[in-house]
């Protein structure tokens, strides 16, 4: 992200790089139509023996027997900010959240892209630090007000919920102080927080399957760190928080199925910068009717399938645990967009209101992109 950092220093580039959190850059390319997306999913960044079988066509997202106490959301950067939005707005549905390099709820406020860049993440300063101005007080006031109005679920639902936070000490895109604010916010509402903030990591999602060294900044923003001389596994940490003792990770050929699913039936369209297809991983046991858990996993900017293929889906390290611990994982996907549609050239999830140029309710249940994402959750879990 050095090249991104230099570009971010240009004022004219500010809007173009909003939400670089969790971004990827370069990498495998695929068109955004349904057939090409399925092909991109098949183009795995790891040997076929290490990944699930991939459907050759586009499937309709199905309902599964999901335990309502095991419904979670996770995300990196723009997906991390959006994961916080989903968790807070739908805290009666989601029972925990894992947030990598995200920030406080409604961090961008009503100020749009420029405010989001300056305050929350995506703007790298000449000092190689991410721009940051605390919006914690405004965030909590807005959260309290919307909770009282009923535009989001009651904030009291957050009490006691497990929350995992990751912030690399070398992150140049989302300032570690922003994640410290998020830690404070969740603690204020009584969440049970585990904060990994001592790893010398650059901006990215941490996983044993990440292709980049811990302190490396670059595409696809999937990093691999170590602790006490062994490869660290942040996904194991938060899944243990959420589920308790885990069955061993499947490091071989997965028994579950990875498929491309149709997002358009839920309202995905270029108008809200969402691709026609996303990805879903279904363990064999879940497909056969066993009661399972659920994870909604949100990538960062520039990690969309049309840019990096399925490296987000296969390097996140979630499927390997999901396969043996009976978790259905849905990976929604975005697309880059520009005028006359939303100004979102880096395919970020919407955490500052770009949808339909400009969605003032972007962080509420009624938010345009939020509604699409939640409709997917409703389908899989059977929630009304």
CA–chain centroid gap for 372, Å, is 15
3-state secondary structure of 40: helix
CA–chain centroid gap for 357, Å, is 22
Is 77 an active-site residue? yes
* CA–CA dist 169, 219 (Å, integer): 19
Is 87 an active-site residue? no
Annotate 309-364 with DSSP letters as a single string.
Answer: TTHHHHHSS-HHHHHHHTEEEEE--B--B-TTS--BTT----SSSTGGG--TTTTS
Structure tokens at 11: 């004022």
* Cβ-contact 279, 261 below 8 angstroms: yes
Residue 47 CB contacts under 8 Å (≥ 6 apart), including other chains: none
Q: Which among 87, 90, 203, 299 is annotated as catalytic?
A: 203
Q: Which among 171, 196, 323, 350 is annotated as catalytic?
A: 171
Structure tokens at 7: 């570009």
Longest dimension (CA), the chain: 54
* CA–CA dist 23, 34 (Å, integer): 23
Q: Which among 77, 207, 259, 279 is annotated as catalytic?
A: 77
Structure tokens at 259: 């498929």
Is 203 an active-site residue? yes
Catalytic residues: 77, 171, 203
């Amino acid at each position: 992200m050095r090249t991104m950092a230099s570009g971010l220093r240009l004022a004219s580039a500010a809007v173009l790089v909003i939400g670089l959190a969790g971004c990827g850059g370069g990498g495998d390319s695929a068109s955004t139509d349904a057939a090409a997306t399925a092909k991109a999913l098949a183009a795995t960044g790891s040997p076929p023996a290490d990944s699930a079988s991939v459907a050759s066509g586009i499937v309709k997202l199905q309902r599964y027997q999901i335990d309502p106490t095991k419904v979670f959301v996770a995300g990196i950067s723009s997906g991390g900010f959006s994961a916080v939005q989903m968790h807070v707005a739908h805290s009666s549905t989601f029972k925990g959240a894992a947030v990598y390099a995200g920030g406080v709820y409604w961090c961008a406020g009503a100020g749009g892209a420029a405010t989001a860049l300056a305050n929350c993440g995506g703007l790298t300063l000449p000092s190689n630090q991410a721009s940051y101005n605390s919006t914690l007080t405004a965030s909590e006031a807005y959260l309290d007000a919307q909770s009282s109005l009923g535009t989001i679920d009651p904030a009291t639902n957050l009490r006691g919920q497990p929350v995992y936070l990751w912030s690399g000490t070398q992150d140049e895109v989302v300032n570690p102080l922003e994640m410290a604010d998020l830690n404070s916010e969740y603690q204020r509402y009584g969440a049970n927080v585990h904060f990994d903030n001592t790893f010398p990591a650059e901006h990215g999602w941490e996983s044993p399957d990440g292709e980049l060294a811990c302190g490396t900044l670059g595409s696809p923003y999937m990093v691999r760190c170590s602790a006490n001389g062994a490869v660290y596994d942040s996904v194991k940490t938060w899944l243990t928080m959420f589920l308790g003792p885990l069955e061993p990770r499947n490091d071989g050929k997965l028994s579950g199925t990875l498929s491309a699913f149709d997002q358009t039936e839920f309202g995905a369209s270029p108008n809200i910068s969402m691709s026609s297809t996303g990805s879903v991983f279904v363990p064999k046991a879940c497909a056969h009717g066993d009661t399972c858990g659920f994870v909604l996993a949100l990538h960062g900017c520039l990690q969309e399938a049309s840019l990096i293929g399925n490296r987000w889906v296969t390097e996140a390290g979630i499927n390997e645990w999901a396969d043996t611990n009976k978790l259905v994982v849905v990976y929604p996907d975005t697309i880059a967009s520009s005028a006359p549609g939303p100004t979102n050239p880096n395919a970020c999830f919407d955490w500052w209101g770009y949808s339909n140029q400009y969605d003032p309710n972007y962080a509420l249940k009624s938010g345009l992109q939020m509604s699409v994402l939640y409709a997917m959750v409703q389908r899989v879990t059977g929630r009304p």
